[in-house]
Amino acid sequence: MALIVHKYGGTSMGSTERIRNVAKRVAKWARAGHQMIVVPSAMSGETNRLLGLAKELQPAQITPSVMRELDAIAATGEQVSVGLLSIALQAEGLQAVSYAGWQLPIATDSSFTKARIQQIDDVRVRADLDAGKVVVITGFQGVDDSGNITTLGRGGSDTSAVAVAAAMKAAECLIYTDVDGVYTTDPRVVPEARRLATISFEEMLEMASLGSKVLQIRSVEFAGKYRVKLRVLSSFTDWDIDIDEEARSGTLITFEEEANMEQAVVSGIAFNRDEAKVTILGVPDKPGVAFRILGPVAEANIDVDVIIQNVSHDGKTDFSFTVHRNDYQRTLDLLKTQIAPATGAREVTGDARICKVSIVGIGMKSHVGVAATMFRILSEEGINIQMISTSEIKTSVVIDEKYMELAVRALHRAFELDGEPARV
Ligand code: ADP
Ligand code: ASP
Ligand code: MG
């Protein structure tokens, strides 16, 4: 008997029929003798619907007090899900109880819409498990020191599940979703993408941080920090398939360094349409210039991703960086109204129609020329590279958004990742 955490995403919770299936699957695991905690997301489309309603009414300026309300609104989607799932489990003859984040509590900081989990109180959960109950806990949400409801950022239920698994020292955290594992790239964009039976923690971290939405990055970070055994698998198999077969299916995130030594140089391709590029032209090129540009950006709580500074001409240089598209307008305004006048820059421009495409692989550590191959393949497709960023196990390029699929497919083929069409 083990303590197991199951997480079900929005599509898996998408209708009462699907929730009934989730309940039957969980009941199968409970009857096999496991102690079960389930962390469901809101029903698919629900978080968008709720935030859409808020958008119709919200003022032009999104202040912290508006963000507080956005979190209170968005968190209700998961609250409905836990209640429905708990009832469905009871209909299966199990004892089940649901909790919202604030009820345990799941303590977070106060960064509305992107809060971080700080601590999870396990007292009630342990008591319920000991009493033989299945415990159903909301994903995506928590509560701050002042009792405000917070949310963890889009896709945050993955993080809730892994954090709960870490806090409870669960034997395994199973992330049930609408694909049957982690693929070499998004199988909805490249049908030839292949499922990986295992992926190293480092590679998963890069894939998630570079835009592969199958796991929220913080969930991978938690898994690494607390060594949570983490598996991504399908919720669309028949609920009554053999439990041992189910437990071995999908993709396991591995922590052993050697696990991927024999693997391809490039294990996967990630892409991200969520960024925008801003450029500040004709800035005097003297010490401290990067700080004078990026300091105020950081102070405004805007995350910066890829950065380039061009060679200078006549003591002036151009400086470009990318930010999340949600922060694009705010960043442009900040550059135009404050940073450009303060630094004596000539002009500020921006482009929201960009994307970032990245190749990821532990094998890149020991192979030279992988980035060069990537650049060659893109040039053969006539795709202009606007920015480049590298680390030991990834190379990312920023390109025009309209070439994204072309680039991903060409790279997927060239790095020999194509396989049988994926089942999605
Ligand atoms: P859930 O609602 O279950 O959390 P998400 O939509 O957040 O599901 O994540 C699953 C989706 O992630 C898949 O449907 C797929 O389109 C997308 N995805 C992106 N990159 C990958 C990848 N490398 N492997 C598998 N799925 C991926
Ligand atoms: N419901 C939230 C979202 O749509 C959290 C999640 O699904 O993980 O982003
Ligand atoms: Mg998700």
Distance between CA 207 and CA 217 in Å, rounded?
8
- Choose among 383, 368, 387, 381: nearest CA to 414: 381
313, two tokens: 């001409």
Does 24 reside within a domain? Answer: yes
Question: Which of 21, 177, 234, 355 has most ligand 1 atoms within 8 Å of its beta carbon, as the pocket-test mutant?
Answer: 177
Instruction: Decide: 9 in ligand 1 pocket, CB within 6 A.
Output: yes
pLDDT at residue number 423: 47
CB-ligand 2 contact for 336 (6 Å cutoff): no
Check whether residue 300 and residue 242 sit in a common domain. Answer: no
Spatial distance between the Cα atoms of 34 and 48, rounded to a whole number of angstroms: 34
Q: Is 268 in the pocket of ligand 2 (CB under 6 A)?
A: no
- Ligand 3 centroid distance, CA of 214 (Å): 6
pLDDT computed for residue 258 by the predictor: 53
**Within a domain: 194:** no
Instruction: Please tell me whether residues 342 and 234 are part of one structural domain.
Output: no
Whether the pTM exceeds 0.75: the reply is: yes
Residues 6+ apart with CB under 8 A from 348: 278, 279, 280, 281, 332, 335, 336, 340
Residue 273 DSSP code: -
Let me know whether 281 and 251 are in one domain: no
Asked if the structure places residue 195 within a domain, the reply is: no
Same domain, 308 and 248: no
* Residue 301: predicted pLDDT: 87
Closest C-alpha residue for ligand 1 atom 1: 9
Instruction: Give me the residues near ligand 3 (ion), CB cutoff below 5 Å.
Output: 9, 155
Instruction: Kindly state whether residues 47 and 171 are assigned to the same domain.
Output: yes
382 burial via Cβ count (<10 Å: 0-12, 13-18, 19+): exposed
Q: Where are the alpha helices (DSSP H) in 168-211?
A: 201-209
Examine the domain organization and report whether 225 and 309 are in the same domain. no
Q: Do 410 and 318 have their domain in common?
A: yes
**Per-residue pLDDT, 264:** 73
- Closest ligand (CA of 12): 1
Residues 180 and 177: their CA atoms lie apart, in Å, by 7
Candidate of 79, 149, 157 to mutate for ligand 2, largest count of ligand atoms within 8 Å of Cβ: 157
Same domain, 44 and 175: yes
Instruction: Let me know: does 107 contact 121? Beta carbons within 8 Å.
Output: yes
Mutate to test the pocket of ligand 2, among 47, 76, 175 (most ligand atoms within 8 A of CB): 47
What's the rounded Cα separation, in Å, for the pair 125 and 334?
46
CATH of the domain at 298: 3.30.2130.10
Whether residues 224 and 288 share a domain: the answer is no
pLDDT in tens, 188-245: 999 999 999 999 999 999 999 999 999 999 999 999 999 999 999 999 999 999 999 9
- The domain total for the chain is 2
Residue 35 falls within a domain, yes or no? yes
Would residue 131 count as lying in a domain?
A: yes
Which pLDDT score is estimated for 289? Answer: 87
Residues 252 and 379 reside in one and the same domain: no
- Nearest-atom index, ligand 2, CA of 78: 1
pLDDT in tens, 3-56: 999 999 999 999 999 999 999 999 999 999 999 999 999 999 999 999 999 999
Nearest to 394 by CA among 212, 306, 267: 267
In the chain (424 residues long), the average pLDDT of successive 10-residue segments reads 96 98 98 98 98 94 92 98 98 98 98 95 97 98 98 97 98 97 96 94 95 95 96 97 97 77 80 96 90 94 91 88 94 95 94 97 87 96 95 95 97 89 50
Residues 322 and 223 in one domain: no
CATH number for position 17: 3.40.1160.10
- Residue 272 and residue 143 share a domain: no
Domain that holds residue 373: 268-414
